[in-house]
Structure 1
Amino acid sequence: MPDVVYHYDVTITPDRPKKFYRDAFNKFMEDYLKGHCAAYDGSKNCYLLKLLPQPVYEGDVQVTDAHGKSMKFNISIKATENPAVELKSLKTYHNERVFDKPMRALQCVEVVLANACHQKGVRAGRSFYTKPREGYTDLGDGFELYVGLYQAAILGEQPYVNVDISHKSFPSEVTLTDFLTKQLSANLERNLETRTLYNFCSHMKGLKVIYNPPAKFGQAPRSYKVNEISREGAAKLSFTNNDGEKMTVQQYFASRGYNLRYPFLNCVVSGSAVRPNYLPIELCSIEPGQAIKRKDGVKQVQRMIKYAATSTGERKFKIMDLLYKFDHNKDPLVRAFGLAVGREFIKVPTRLLSPPAIEYRSNKCVKPQAGSWRGFNFLKTGASPAKTGYKWAIIYTQSYILKFSLLQEFSSKLYNSAARMGINLSAERQVEETKNIIATLEQYKRENYDLVVVVIPGRGTTYADIKQKAELVCGLLTQCIKEQTLSRGIREQLLSNLLLKVNSKLNGTNHKISSATHIVLDHPMFMGADVTHPSPDQRHIPSVVGVAASHDLDGASYNMQYRLQQSTKEEIDDMQSISRHHLKVYFQRQKCYPNHIIYYRDGVSDGQFQKVEQFELGAIRAVCKELRFSPKITCIIVVKRHHTRFFPIIKTTDSFNNVLPGTVVDQKIVHPNETQFFMVSHQSIQGTAKPTRYNVIVDDAKFTMDQLQQMTNNLCYMFPRCNRAVSYPAPAYLAHLVAARGRVYIEGPPLKRSLPEEYKRRLINENFMNNTPMFFV
């Protein structure tokens, strides 16, 4: 590996289509800088082994794609302000403790290693995808599964390449006529029906199609990007030709000797708005290998998980198979830069934390086994306003899969189970069929009901409709259950899961960590924060902030705040008002402010840690100063979006051979300049367990690493929805639920006003939030 390489800026004009960039750059190097070796990132950066004698090189090149389309580009490369990139820093960073140099070197290494993969796979993010070797894997709705090799260079005890298998849905390579008949059951002999046209347009918009001209045209196939699907068929859709004559698409093809087979079928619209191209559907097929940025549907996610959920041994085998396929070490550029990727995974030392003791009513304690436990009577239940108990009802709409006898059975079993657990539900309750769930909720609010169990119908009224009306307007506590779930039978597990939520909503506490196994703090407040962003194809929708904070001493009872903010913005804008609200609630409950604030922040990318410290922790400190107290703040970033996996060397008792719950890694693979550790706190239900990475960015309390890890592990046992450890701490998990609830509040018509105005229109009923702060679980 050379000690130094050189970083250059690359400028390519025109700036599209980008699929030509790599070929154009390679042609430029061949024509103008023959003999020089360059690693190009496909955009604006390249790295050379030697410093060029001139500061700027420029020239024109012409490249041709697989379909015969040619493009001319002007390319210039110019040395950056500080071109020298010290690769030798990757050997010396431990001694020098300077981390900007190795970070620049790592960026160069990633570009070089990626070069080995571009010819063999389709890039999306840091992964390179190919079709699975075992053949076609249908995900439904016109999508198929591709598997990819994820790779990222990281700093640990030494530089490592983090590799993993990744999975992504790609549009299936299929003719558009086959897609219409097989996926949408369309009749090709006539214009598409409104619903079919909408679904077809939703699938096709933004995709690329291959247009295969009739053989008589003597033209090569060509790729076009779909703007939309025309409303009219080829027999009616008209345009003005080069001679100024108006003609239909059908007439144009007939004039060139080709009679359309489906003249009434709609057309693909591509090109510009001023000069659109109309392509008959029968002559188009979906281009293969398109990595699109869309949110997968429920069906795709379910089938993908079924394929991807494998044991650690199988996952490891698949990763090694991908490494063999891409074979970085044989790539000429990788070798020219003196790099090589090892053939074995590294071995890391682990520690296994003991699970905490879970305490229930009457000081009964239970010790979890493999991350789960059987619960006893709830630690605490809410005090019902009436002596007869909480006033409650079950409402549902008429359905062929729901019989009244099933609802009566559900009512009886739910009441009996609640009584056994100590929840004081009234023996008298309504089980009512209604044609209008929303109106019935308003009626029950007027009649002062405490809880309404709503059976969500398969169609019609949605979960969002119910929660918007109940929580924003009425101020009525609801517990939803899908009619499909109920129709499968009333099992004890179903009732238990429902009552865990119901007790929390009715101001109860399900369980707590026994003080004998907890990190006991003086008046702590546990905060969790998350920001959820819309998918890349929905950037017009705002990001939603969710912040949950405890108001008891056990970290079991929480209140919430949500906000709407600019799409994709990661740092929380309104943190001052959010933290002010949470601190005031804490003061109301405890008659003092917290001495410790433990802040778990989810949803932050690695480059944003400094912003979290500057803006969010700065806002919390400003509010504390305003309220005249100085707590010790500890901020721990919760990182789930990474590709580190642990494969046990010795077989474990886990059915997927995962490491056991409580496994911690804090050596070798952690960043040398950060307080960081990995933890698997949960038992994976299916597939290889994903560890959560924790970065401690602020620690006023100066906790030891053991204390931080034990406290974090314990909090994973405090999620109120289940009697098992979850994959990250309850405050962060609850913040995720808050953000998800905020997204429910904005479902429906598009938002047209400013975000502050839209938020004000969706304020949660104040009395409701004060009286039942855990309504969101």
Structure 2
Amino acid sequence: MPPRGDPSGGRGRGRGRGAGAVRGYVRGGGPRGGTPAGPIGLPDAASHITTVGVKRSAFGSSGRALTVFTNHFEVSIPEAIIHHYDVISPSEKTLPARLNMEIIKRLQTEVAPQVFTPRAAYDGRKNLFAARELPFGDSGTHEFSFALTEGSPADAGEGGRGPKMYKVKLTHVATINPEVLQRFLEGKQSHDNTVLTAITALNVVIRMEPSLNYPFNIRSFFTSREQKDLGGGIVLWRGYFQSARPAIGRMLINVDISTGAMYKPGAVTDVSLDFIGRPRADPTCLAPRRGFPDRERIKLQRFLSGVRVDVQIPGQAQTGRRPARVVKKLTTHGASELKFTMRDGKTLTVADYFLKVHNYKLRFPDVVCLEVGSGAIIPMECCTIPEGQIMRKQVPSEKTKDVLAFATMKPADRLNSIRKGLGVLAYGQSEYVRHFGMHMAQNEPLSLQARVLEPPTLQYGASTKIKPKDGAWNMVDKKFFRPEQVRRWGIVIYERQQRFTPADAQEMVRGFLQAFAAVGMPVDEKDPIIRYKQSNATIGAQLQAVGDEVYYKSGGTVAPTLIVVVLPEASTDIYQAVKHWGDCTKGIATQCLKSSKCSKARPQYFANVCLKINVKLGGINTVPEAKSVPALTDPHNPTIVMGADVIHPAPGASGRPSFTSLVANVDSDTAKYVADCRVQTSRQEMIDDLEEMATGILTMYQKYRANVERKAQLKPKRIIFYRDGVSEGQFQHVLDIELPQLKRACAKLDIEAKITMIVVGKRHHVRFFPKLNEGDRSGNCPAGTIVDRDITHPTEFDFYLQSHSGLLGTSRPAHYNVLYDENNFTPDNLQALSFALCHVYARATRSVSIPAPVYYADIVCARAKNHYDPDSAQMDLTDSGTQLDSKEAKDQLDAFRAGFKPLHEKIRRMMYFS
């Protein structure tokens, strides 16, 4: 069985706080800028309580009151002692959690039911929790040895060897007194290992029943009641997420709907043909000698690797149930060509073997076969995929739209689905929940008191001011706060002339000129050069040629400042080449447009594109009014706001790097941002080069204040650092590894700034639902909805802020955890400035879901692949996974480091990522 890991099932890393994950052992709180709790309504946090983040000292109070529902349900915690057992399977290789659950179920119900009365709850890995001490004597240890029952998916019994025996050793490792958890909820106990284990135990208890009845994926369980066929051998199932979460003074269960991608059940040949997009009537498409290309075979192999298949020879009765086999890979030849030597020394093809031994003549002997984990080779036509197998690979990008359509539900529909989910999760009927003394108070979602914050006033040109309403505002008749001049520009079109005609191109130019004038951007050139190009040549050389034309058109005096590129559909490779040329090679702003969007487009389209172009050229679209957000714009306390993120390679890909980014404002209005991006060790969450990146950005901040704003005070006095993509278990790592780097960068530049560090999480399942007629047009809570009590951490400073208006589906609030705060911000101050920063995202006239610097950091990471030469065949950054050995992985990672090209010096000062 698997080695013992995080008993909560939480991620060791992640791009956000994983709902349900619980923090590891706390070594000590240290000075965090927080104080012991005091005001009425706060838990009585004693001075000896240590926390990872800042202690909560107060609640926010600004904004209008709003009552909302949330997808949480109060649950009582057990009163009796819980016994924790370590589960070991001696000399046994790591087994899937599904099989582990089968083994423990058999042990409790048939092998030793008298021992497991009442039954214990198991996490599928190394942890078992019992409501009473198991009768193992003084040693507290007992070993069981048994076979799984006939008909089980794991039943062995091949070759006359008898059924496979499994050994399970249980050892009593701890007793858990739920009183410790109760004290933690009341703010009287630090979050230590005992609290961690208690929360883990409750999560295992509530998940046990559905784990036995449904396909599961750590915290989610999927049923076939609602499903959608995506095509390509993939089916979506509706699922239910659940997680026990500590809150102020009580324990809650967070329940949400989720979506699982499953392998389509049925014959492997049919599913394979669906995947490669060929008709099911002709399985010979899968035969190499009939033209099945290696490229498609490898793609299909990636899709099928790891899937369990049942083996059944067509037309023959099955005696007992054979064990499911796990697909390892596909053979390179069909069954009629694959030969092997029998024990008697005779050589047979796979097709001949099935005829001789099983009296079955293959219908499609030329089709590739499956090689399973044991090394056996089985013809595809003898294999079927059973229902309910989760596909633990990325869904192909072309199907993302269909996945979103299935997963997206309006708030009212989602809440109703969650209510139905309670019937599936069946807490009241679960014998495990009952035996552990847990009881859900009511089957209705929790109602809580939220607040709606006042949006900041935004300032545009000519002292024009706008007050956003419902998370959006209109820029009609408004000039940019600082419009930038378009001096010389050119247009390159990669779409065919028949689809995007010269007349379309001229109409696009007119659209741009009108939009530039409307937002106040001066344009020197009214008739830019327009050139059609084909993408079968080197993109960089083509762009360079057009740039040279623009330059010589001006008499060789002005280089182009902007190249607009019109792209056809499915043109990711051209886009990457354009961005590499502009951002890393030449330092020229580029703006890519889809031909389908800009052809005969409305003025609003060009106005939106101008939002991007202005900041790419160095302009500023809008700034928050100074008195609206004094915490950000106080002239006596110059403030720099940073956003940092890390992005990791696709699951299963080895030898590919992770990318890090740091983004920060350089102006006094926290609206103009610069960015840095680096390569680092694959799947490492903490940022290696933060000190170096921060030093560079702090230097640029001071230069901008000196040379552009002409400020007397050059150095920032406050740094607000927003960190994206960190799971709860890594909060302490941020404080131990990244905070010191930030402090060293300040010390290097003799900057004495007070630092506030905040983690912004989006990967959670907390949702808010307004009462009838109290939501926005989409049925979601209004932009600015904030919750900092009832469902938040018992002792630490955190809050949920839904800063954007809804468009489709149910909006997800961002979760803010304050880890460090030398500025001693009040909750109202920190919540207001976070909300204000959601309004300065340059690409939209809407507030966004997370503060702009964090959003930008995410975009910079996602565009890291643009730093590689697109003509280099070695730099494969596609989504497909590739398995390499450790030396190959290291060599490839070194190549990625060497091939990463930094930004051009001109572009570093611009918002190229907008």
Q: Tell me the C-alpha RMSD between the 2 structures.
A: 2.2
Offset of 1:566 from its aligned partner?
Answer: 2.0
Report the AA paired with residue 340 of structure 2: F
Task: Tell whether 2:101 aligns with 1:15.
Answer: no
What residue is the counterpart of 1:44 in the other structure?
A: 126
More off after superposition, 292-301 vs 548-557:
292-301
Which of 424, 428, 442 is the equivalent residue of 2:544? Answer: 442
Task: Tell whether 2:470 aligns with 1:370.
Answer: yes
Which of 431, 435, 449 is the equivalent residue of 1:336? Answer: 435
Offset of 1:511 from its aligned partner?
Answer: 0.5
CA distance in structure 2 between the aligned counterparts of 1:716 and 1:604, rounded to whole angstroms: 20
CA distance in structure 1 between the aligned counterparts of 2:737 and 2:560, rounded to whole angstroms: 42
Which of 229, 240, 245 is the equivalent residue of 2:330? Answer: 229
TM-score, scaled relative to structure 2: 0.80
Measured against aligned partners, the alpha-carbon deviations of 1:604-637 in whole angstroms (never above 9, x if no partner) come to 0011111111211110101111222210111111
CA distance in structure 1 between the aligned counterparts of 2:894 and 2:270, rounded to whole angstroms: 47
Offset of 1:203 from its aligned partner?
Answer: 2.1
What residue is the counterpart of 2:237 in the other structure?
A: 146
User: Does the 8 Å contact 2:561/2:588 carry over to 1?
Assistant: yes
Task: Tell whether 2:339 aligns with 1:244.
Answer: no
CA distance in structure 2 between the aligned counterparts of 1:513 and 1:86, rounded to whole angstroms: 51
Report the AA paired with residue 515 of structure 1: A
User: Does the 8 Å contact 2:262/2:388 carry over to 1?
Assistant: yes
* 1:282-681 paired onto structure 2 within 5 Å: 282-341=381-440, 342-375=442-475, 376-383=478-485, 389-398=487-496, 400-425=498-523, 426-435=525-534, 436=537, 437-446=539-548, 447=551, 448-458=559-569, 461-487=573-599, 489-519=600-630, 520-521=633-634, 522-591=637-706, 592-681=714-803
SS at match of 2:362: coil
User: Does the 8 Å contact 2:211/2:221 carry over to 1?
Assistant: yes
User: Does the 8 Å contact 1:139/1:169 carry over to 2?
Assistant: no
Q: Report the CA distance shift for 1:223/1:404 in structure 2 as closer, same or farther (over 3 A).
A: farther
Q: Report the CA distance shift for 1:177/1:227 in structure 2 as closer, same or farther (over 3 A).
A: same
Report the AA paired with residue 189 of structure 1: T
User: Does the 8 Å contact 2:644/2:857 carry over to 1?
Assistant: yes
SS at match of 1:490: coil
Q: Report the CA distance shift for 1:174/1:470 in structure 2 as closer, same or farther (over 3 A).
A: farther
What residue is the counterpart of 2:145 in the other structure?
A: 60
Report the AA paired with residue 25 of structure 1: I
Offset of 1:399 from its aligned partner?
Answer: 5.6
Offset of 1:756 from its aligned partner?
Answer: 6.0
What residue is the counterpart of 1:98 in the other structure?
A: 190
Measured against aligned partners, the alpha-carbon deviations of 1:133-152 in whole angstroms (never above 9, x if no partner) come to 25x41123221111111111
Measured against aligned partners, the alpha-carbon deviations of 1:362-417 in whole angstroms (never above 9, x if no partner) come to 11011111101111211112356xxxx23333332436432222122112211221
What residue is the counterpart of 2:159 in the other structure?
A: none
User: Does the 8 Å contact 1:411/1:431 carry over to 2?
Assistant: no
CA distance in structure 1 between the aligned counterparts of 2:529 and 2:749, rounded to whole angstroms: 47
Task: Tell whether 2:256 aligns with 1:164.
Answer: yes
Q: Report the CA distance shift for 1:702/1:709 in structure 2 as closer, same or farther (over 3 A).
A: same
Offset of 1:236 from its aligned partner?
Answer: 1.1
Offset of 1:34 from its aligned partner?
Answer: 4.5
CA distance in structure 2 between the aligned counterparts of 1:419 and 1:170, rounded to whole angstroms: 52
CA distance in structure 2 between the aligned counterparts of 1:587 and 1:37, rounded to whole angstroms: 65
Offset of 1:24 from its aligned partner?
Answer: 2.0
| Percent identity for Structure 1 against Structure 2 | 29
User: Does the 8 Å contact 1:62/1:71 carry over to 2?
Assistant: yes
Task: Tell whether 2:836 aligns with 1:745.
Answer: no
Report the AA paired with residue 470 of structure 2: A
CA distance in structure 1 between the aligned counterparts of 2:436 and 2:318, rounded to whole angstroms: 46
CA distance in structure 2 between the aligned counterparts of 1:616 and 1:438, rounded to whole angstroms: 37
Offset of 1:757 from its aligned partner?
Answer: 5.6
Report the AA paired with residue 148 of structure 2: V
SS at match of 1:268: strand
Report the AA paired with residue 141 of structure 1: G
Offset of 1:600 from its aligned partner?
Answer: 0.8
TM-score, scaled relative to structure 1: 0.94
CA distance in structure 2 between the aligned counterparts of 1:452 and 1:95, rounded to whole angstroms: 58
Report the AA paired with residue 313 of structure 1: A
Offset of 1:6 from its aligned partner?
Answer: 1.6
Any unmatched runs of 5+ in structure 2? 1-77, 157-162, 552-558, 707-713, 877-888
What residue is the counterpart of 1:207 in the other structure?
A: 307
* 1:697-716 paired onto structure 2 within 5 Å: 697-716=819-838
CA distance in structure 2 between the aligned counterparts of 1:170 and 1:470, rounded to whole angstroms: 41
Measured against aligned partners, the alpha-carbon deviations of 1:301-341 in whole angstroms (never above 9, x if no partner) come to 21122122222211111011111122122111211110122
CA distance in structure 2 between the aligned counterparts of 1:399 and 1:613, rounded to whole angstroms: 56
More off after superposition, 650-659 vs 455-464:
455-464
Offset of 1:560 from its aligned partner?
Answer: 0.8
What residue is the counterpart of 1:3 in the other structure?
A: 80
Q: Which has the higher contact order (CA 8 A, sep 6+)?
A: 2
CA distance in structure 2 between the aligned counterparts of 1:677 and 1:459, rounded to whole angstroms: 40
What residue is the counterpart of 1:735 in the other structure?
A: 857
What residue is the counterpart of 2:359 in the other structure?
A: 257
CA distance in structure 2 between the aligned counterparts of 1:130 and 1:755, rounded to whole angstroms: 40
Offset of 1:754 from its aligned partner?
Answer: 6.2
